[in-house]
């Protein structure tokens, strides 16, 4: 994997978060109870995505929680948020 200097650390929007989840293999949940929850075919758990996120930065609690919940290390999450797949 090539090193990418100058990765943006934000601000990120809901669209950026959804694109990052798609790059990691996550899909929008199909359940009617929580349509904003994203699911992964092989990873346990769900991750809720809020349409209100407009100004997330790499150090925000939301992205730290996303890293923990989705099982994506923070460096990889930052690459995904910048649109870089592995």
34-86 pLDDT tens trace: 668 899 999 888 888 888 888 888 888 888 988 998 889 889 999 999 988 76
CB atoms within 10 A of CB 11: 13
CA–CA gap between residue 71 and residue 45 (Å, rounded): 10
How many helices (H) and strands (E) would you count in the chain? 3, 3
Q: What is the pLDDT of residue 24?
A: 92
CA–CA gap between residue 81 and residue 66 (Å, rounded): 12
Q: What is the pLDDT of residue 22?
A: 93
Q: What is the pLDDT of residue 16?
A: 92
pTM over the 0.85 mark:
no
């Amino acid at each position: 994997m090539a090193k990418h200097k100058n990765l943006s650390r934000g601000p990120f929007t809901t669209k950026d978060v959804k694109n990052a989840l798609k790059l990691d293999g996550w899909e929008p949940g199909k359940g009617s109870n929580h349509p904003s929850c994203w699911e992964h075919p092989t990873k346990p758990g769900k991750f809720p995505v809020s349409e209100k996120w407009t100004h997330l930065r790499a150090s925000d609690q939301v992205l730290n929680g996303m890293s923990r919940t989705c099982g994506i290390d923070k460096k990889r999450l930052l690459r995904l948020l910048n649109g870089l797949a592995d």
